[in-house]
Amino acid sequence: MSDDFSAAFDWVRRHVDADRLPHAVLGVATADGVVALDAVGDVGVDDSFLLFSITKVLTGVTAARAIERGLLTPNTPLTDALPEFGANRDDVVRLWHLVSHTSGISEPDLDTAVPLRTELLTRGRDFVAGTASRYSTLAFEGVAALIEHTTGQSWDAGVRDWAAEVGAGGLTLDPEQYVPIRDAVAAGVDLERFLATRAPGAGLAGTAADLLAVGSDLLRIGRGEPGILSPATLAMMRRPLTGDIPRLEPYVAERGQDWGFTFNLRTRAPGLIDRDVYGHGGWSGTEFWVHPTAGVCWVLLTAQAQRPGVDADQLDNAIVAAL
């Protein structure tokens, strides 16, 4: 395998030089560990960033570990943890609906001032569970409730436990410092209020090294080695759950992806060289992707929500092409 990822780092530098990105940390790893890591602009490789929706897959790993222990199944109803949920619904919302954006729970603002558990119980329904897919961060408050109910431990404590096993101890809900989002106000998000939600679908912070450690472990599991999940459980998380149901904004069918058990599965993405890829992106410009066949994962951390002219598929292709 070549360690020459110069085209990928050149891509980052071009976007920083053109001020399309304020700065960035890019890292690449294999199952054996980090093979490339550098920062561009006024940040360092060890800086902590707000990960936003990359949090979803980390919460998903925690839920999957509870499934391995026989405490949950993907079919467990949310009402097992929250009997008062869905009092005015005539459908059943299950764990697999929550993790695949098919629960139909109406979504509040990312920086809602209302406690997320209250939002979960009072927001109402946009569609019958399982009949459509609309992206939901609030649904992960339901995942957190099921984790807490069945394990007796908060979702973030569960993340800390397994993250420590793979050297990702910087993943936290309470960062002492983090790289500020340059355009948070312009994008309409009150960061202080957002952080106060402690959202299990968006709230974690961490470094590139933290995510690369997770990615390396997932690659090892994918080739049958022991890790934070069993190979069978990782295969379950990568199984598409959304099929041919309608896809609503912002993840319309034309984007060429499915949802697995929290993973974004870009199996039909028109812009990619290698479509055997799973992972997630985050609102602030964070990216975390694993290519199991190619044997590589990569992380991009930046801190800008609105990024016209930035196409991360170009970066993905440059990394895969370097192998």
Nearest Cα to 120, choosing from 101, 143, 90? Answer: 143
**Dihedral (Cα; 307, 299, 110, 253), 10-degree rounding:** 70
Nearest Cα residue to 104 out of 93, 115, 112, 113: 93
Q: Which pLDDT does position 252 carry in this prediction?
A: 85
Burial string for 242-266 (b: 16+ CB within 10 Å, else e) reads beeeebeeebeeeebbbbbbbbbbb
pLDDT at 259: 97
Digit-coded pLDDT (tens) for 197-214? 999 999 999 999 999 999
Place of tokens 């001020």: 19
Residue with tokens 């436990």: 161
What the block records as the tokens of 110 is: 């990312």
**Residues forming beta bridges with residue 28, ordered by sequence position:** 36, 298
Q: Provide, rounded to the nearest whole percent, the portion of the chain with pLDDT above 90.
A: 95
- State the pLDDT at residue 2: 46
Number of alpha helices (DSSP H) and beta strands (DSSP E) in the chain: 10, 9
Which of the residues in the chain have pLDDT under 50? 1-2
CA 28, 288, 209, 294 torsion: positive or negative?
Answer: negative
Which of helix, strand or coil describes residue 312? helix
pLDDT in the model for residue 253: 84
pTM score over 0.85: yes
In contact, 295 and 219? CB cutoff 8 Å? yes
Residue spans per domain, the chain: 6-321
Q: What is the CA radius of gyration of the chain?
A: 19
Per-residue pLDDT reduced to its tens digit, 136-194: 999 999 999 999 999 999 999 999 999 999 999 999 999 999 999 999 999 999 999 99
Which CATH entry fits the domain spanning 6-321: 3.40.47.10, 3.40.1480.10, 3.40.710.10, 3.40.50.300? 3.40.710.10
Name all contacts of 189-193 with Cβ < 8 Å and 24+ positions apart: 189/110, 189/111, 189/283, 189/305, 190/111, 191/50, 191/111, 193/111, 193/112, 193/113
